[in-house]
Structure 1
Amino acid sequence: MKVYITMDAEGISGIYKLAQVIPGNSEYDYARKLMAGDINAAVAGAFDAGADAVFVNDAHNNGDNLRITDLDERVVLCSGADRPYTMAEGAQKGFDAALLIGYHARKGSKGVISHSYAYGSMVEMWLNGKVISEYELIGYMIGYYGTPVVFISGDDIVTADAKENVSGIHTVTVKECISNGAASCIHPNVTARMIRAEVKRALEEIEAKQIKPMAIKEAVKIDVRYSAEAQAWKAMMAPNTERIGETIVRYHGKDYKEAYLAFVTGTGLAGTFGDDAALYKCK
């Protein structure tokens, strides 16, 4: 059994505010240890369930958060910013199951460091008319390659949302959200045991629970509301785009992959204009 892991940072055990996940801040190095702790727990659970190989995609920010020497030596780690599929990089290799570690709620909703893909540019995103969160954006790209998302960890908001939207998914809630920058956190040693046990259970129950890949068979539209008009017109330089509002851009494709890759390109271009960038220079 081959297992794919994509890791974000905001839903990691012990993380409760933005400054912890931004490189250069005093608490970031400690947060990297917390990230490694959750990943190692998930990896242990995967091998407990009989995995032959585990691939980890360091999906937060520029993909340079996890230090390979902090991880279980059995993993393959994907690092770096220049990845065509960004947070879903590596999924195209084909896996039997996928685990989402450290994910978070969407922008505008209650949730610890809740946002939608990009801190300084994106306000909201829709998939074929439905408001979605980041785990869905990435989960459908993983599902495009036939891999079911069987597990997610994060705060109580994202895990509850995932249960509503992904049939059969297993979850571990590592903290309870108080606000965007505050949480009641369970000790990382405890959450590590929780993650390890639930990942093992999730992988062992794939067939019994008949967890299917997140998939869309028809044409796809990903609509994004950016925070500034300048971001929208920059995004329009990407392929397969349509301007449907002053700050809203539609990325379309004959399938999910085509629309998603257009989104990745356009959102990267939009991010070159940061009207509120100063908000994210945390000290």
Structure 2
Amino acid sequence: MKAYVSIDIEGLPGIASTTMVSPGYTQYSRGSRIMTMIAKETAKALLNNGFDKVVIADSHGYMTNIDYLELPKNTSLIQGFPRPYSMLTGLDNSYDSVLFIGYHTAAGTMHGFLDHTMSGKVFAEIKLNGRRASEYLINALVAGEKGVPVILVAGDSLLRDEVSKYTPWAVFIGFKQGITRYAAIYESIGDVLDKLREGIAEAINRLRKGEVKPLVLDKPYIVEIMLRDELLGDVLETWDILERIDAYRFRYEANSAHNVLAIIELIAFIGYGVYALKERLR
């Protein structure tokens, strides 16, 4: 069996400050160490429970956070940014399952630790078919189109309800509890790792028993995005795939989750370019 593991950082235990999530910041080495430890233990647990191959996608920021030298045999690591389909690069129907580790709540979630969706700098909120959407939901739909089921999600406990609604067959592990956007509580790393190992064993048991399935929702998908910058909205207004609702909000329709994600990613990159332009206009 082969597992795909997408690992983000904001939903990991021990992460409680923006100084821990970006290279060059004062506590980034601690964040990288935690992310590496979780990645290593996840791979070991999967391999110890019957998987032959584990592919880990480093899925935060510049996507070079995990120390390659720490990973066990029979594990591959996807790193680097930008890359196609971001947190799910290379996922196809050859995988038996996908796991989302260190995932956080959607942009606009009250008390969600560092809540955002795809790009906190560009998007204030993203809705899918009228409901606030997280990276978990969008990525689960993309995986579902490949026929790959989500078997485990671990991260901010405030994500639990969304996981229970859309993929109730997936094991959920609360790594931390958001208190405010910049504060959280979490158990010791030993306790967290015990829960992770137990959760992975249970997820694999459900997979073997045929209790899991790929996520599929009715189409077309109606996506509504709220931007943080009106100038970006002015730039996007000429893109006829998008309907502008007001200064900050746009709507578009997609017939696949891949298109949902691709358009979001393109808007994010355009946004980065607009922000870079604004910095030059001084």
Same fold, judged at TM 0.5 (above): yes
Within 5 Å, give how 1:1-283 maps onto structure 2: 1-92=1-92, 94-109=94-109, 110-208=111-209, 210-236=211-237, 240-274=241-275
Unpaired segments ≥5 residues, structure 2: none
Residue identity opposite 2:164 in structure 1: K
Equivalent residues, number: 277
Change (3 A) 1:33 1:241: same
Tell me how far apart the structure 2 counterparts of residues 239 and 28 of structure 1 sit (CA, whole Å): 41
CA displacement at 1:7 relative to structure 2: 0.8
Tell me how far apart the structure 2 counterparts of residues 235 and 24 of structure 1 sit (CA, whole Å): 32
Residue identity opposite 1:81 in structure 2: F
Q: TM-score, normalised by structure 2?
A: 0.90
- Given that 1:251 and 1:260 are in contact with CA atoms closer than 8 Å, whether structure 2 keeps it comes out as no
Q: TM-score, normalised by structure 1?
A: 0.90
CA offset digits 1:105-142 (Å, max 9, x no partner): 11221211111221212111111222111211111111
Deviates more, 1:49-58 or 1:154-163: 154-163
Q: Which residue of 2 aligns with 1:281?
A: none
CA offset digits 1:185-241 (Å, max 9, x no partner): 211222112112211210121253622212235222322100111122334566733
- Given that 2:13 and 2:187 are in contact with CA atoms closer than 8 Å, whether structure 1 keeps it comes out as yes
Change (3 A) 1:128 1:121: same
Unpaired segments ≥5 residues, structure 1: 279-283
* Equivalent position SS for 2:172: strand
Deviates more, 1:220-229 or 1:96-105: 220-229
Identity %: 23
RMSD: 2.2
